Amino acid sequence: MGLVLFLIFFLFLLTTVSAIKDNTLSSCTSILQDEKHPSNGSGIHLTLHHIHSPCSPVTSPHLPLIDLLNLDETRSQSLNNILTKPNITTPSISKSTNLIPESIGIPLNPGQSIGVGNYVIKLGLGTPPKYFSVIMDTGSSFNWVQCDPCVVYCHPQVGPRFNPSTSSTYKKLSCNTPDCSALEAATLNPSACTRSNICIYQSSYGDGSFSVGYLSSETLTVGPSQTLPGFIYGCGQDNKGLFGRSAGIFGLARSRLSLVSQLSAKYGYVFSYCLPTPSSIGTLSIGQSTYNPSIYKFTRMYSDQRAPSLYFLRISSITVSGKALPLSVAVYTRTPTIIDSGTVITRLPSAVYVPLRTAFVKAMAGYKRAPPFSILDTCFEGGVRGKHVPEVRLIFEGGSELRLAAQNTVIEVDGGVTCLAFAESTSLAIIGNLQQQTYKVVYDISSSKIGFAAGGCG
């Protein structure tokens, strides 16, 4: 009798798990089918997935949280390095001299790390178009995908690589084009050149990842009738690093070669997104007509000549449980602040972070402290559920704000420990993606302003 009951329970459990899986797959299939038809004639709307979402077109293994935080710190440090301009030299990429027949190898400089809390979109390349899942990154200024024949190395990706021979609109660009000259500003590395005068791009990242290949021109497709002929991108022939199973990276930074810049002449120099959690779906919209300014509160967008492609803003105040930290505006603005889609944990300079930590610990006085976890030094025993997490508000110049719910303020780490999802920085403050999740964030580059609106992913 016991065996019969066990078998009945096992079959019930198996059926239930199968039904949940089928429902998830059905829901994801519907979403992914819609991705090929996301836009209207006046702007572009793309489905945005967290790389670890069950609906993500790019399957990526879950890293242990300790590894994720360590890699996030690598990205933070590499962004800091761009502003502090240290005298760093890096060895040439192995095989770079043999990367492409006749190519010239050049030592690469480290750019920003691609991060691990990435978001994925689908775009089409070629005529006829083939669709690829690529990482979207506001910290990157260049676009590239892996291409056949992949003469050196290509990392495993979901679906086939782009094959230029199947497209009637593919073209390699020569070294005397303005786009080749623009590579150094976009990639932080000089271009190389073959003896046959083909331009070679070299994108490298602070964590050691890199992509090298031909600078190319192709037709970009972002919807059934939304195309951009002559789109400039890199056709990768040697690609190694933390790219997951994506086909490549498309950048949204302020560079003439970035995705948003190349689309700006047609749609306007504006983009917005709602970064989803791993259990939700977000959006990326490009174009002046894709957002309603009346729903946003804006802050001024700043620039820094040391990192002209990044998006800077200014914090004017931080509150915990409605009470402002005892700091003047000058303390907040002493350190440059960027907003970044690829950094997970928000970084604050010591002069701001320490008072935030003090106020947060005071508000959490009823919970027992736990040891630090990696870069997170303010932790408490027990999971998030059942805890009263004080509201933290990041208030920006002009009055716009991120009013952070518990899911944007703390993170549950190993062993059921809950930690404040902020970390200490040195020379750069970074508004990370955990704090941005579920907010609608608009970058109106033409008007030099950034806007925030709650409930964006709805």
- What contacts 14, CB < 8 A, 6 or more positions away? none
Q: Distance between CA atoms of 155 and 162, rounded to whole angstroms?
A: 13
Look up residue 103 and give its two tokens: 């190519």
Token code pair at residue 44:
């572009």
**Buried-exposed string 140-152: b where 16+ CB fall within 10 A, e elsewhere:** bbbbbbbbeebbb
Secondary structure (DSSP) of 73-134: HHHHHHHHHHHH------PPPTTGGGSSTT----PPPP-----SS-EEEEEEETTTTEEEEE
The reply to whether 67 belongs to the active site is no
C-alpha to C-alpha distance for 216 and 171, rounded to whole angstroms: 6
Which residue in 72, 179, 340, 444 is the catalytic one?
340
Which residues, in sequence order, are CB contacts of 81 under 8 Å at separation 6+? 88, 110, 206
Is residue 34 annotated as a catalytic residue, yes or no? no
Q: What is the SS3 assignment for 300?
A: strand
| Distances from the Cα of 119 to the Cα of 215, 281, 395, 443, angstroms | 24, 10, 25, 17
Beta strands in 308-353 (DSSP E): 312-313, 315-320, 323-324, 337-339, 346-349
Asked whether the beta carbons of 13 and 256 are under 8 A apart, the reply is no
From 72, 137, 179, 444, active-site residue: 137
Residue 133's DSSP bridge partners are: 122
Distance from C-alpha of 42 to C-alpha of 313, rounded to nearest angstrom:
28
Instruction: Give phi and psi for 96, each to the nearest 5.
Output: -60, -35
Active site residues: 137, 340
